[in-house]
Amino acid sequence: NFMLTQPHSVSESPGKTVTISCTRSSGSIASNYVQWYQQRPGSSPTTVIYEDNQRPSGVPDRFSGSIDSSSNSASLTISGLKTEDEADYYCQSYDSSPLWVFGGGTKLTVL
């Protein structure tokens, strides 16, 4: 079993770029796909990145995902920040059991 560790919170100004990390505790980050979900207050999660770096249709290209094997982590980068990006972000990957592993979530504040 492994854990995914995210920063509890990040903040940045509108128009800037922010990166949220997701570090895998054991095993290679590259061995299983990583998804990123955005959850606004009172709403269900929506996918902003799937399969490490794929962006669903309708998600702005300001959102990008990457994998770094040297730090064994995945990253979600949001450029040109907008106030509407303020939300909780969760990374998710796969294990044998539990099958889905979530990071603890990162609260993004755009101020």
Partner 1 sequence: QVQLVQSGAEVKKPGASVKVSCKASGYTFTGYYMHWVRQAPGQGLEWMGRINPNSGGTNYAQKFQGRVTMTRDTSISTAYMELSRLRSDDTAVYYCARDPNSSPSSWGQGTLVTVSS
Binding site for partner 1 (CB under 8 A): 33, 35, 37, 44-47, 50-51, 54, 56, 90, 92, 97-105
Nearer to partner 1, 2 or 33 (CB): 33
* Nearest distance in Å: CB 33, partner 1: 7
- Beta bridge partners, 17, equal none
* Nearest distance in Å: CB 35, partner 1: 6
CA distance linking residue 31 with residue 93, whole number of Å: 10
CA distance linking residue 16 with residue 27, whole number of Å: 33
Nearer to partner 1, 14 or 109 (CB): 109
Nearer to partner 1, 1 or 16 (CB): 1
* Nearest distance in Å: CB 100, partner 1: 4
Reference 93, options 38, 24, 40; nearest CA is 24
CA distance linking residue 108 with residue 20, whole number of Å: 9
* Nearest distance in Å: CB 96, partner 1: 10
Nearer to partner 1, 15 or 27 (CB): 27
Q: Is 108 exposed, middle or buried, given 0-12, 13-18 or 19+ CB atoms closer than 10 A?
A: buried
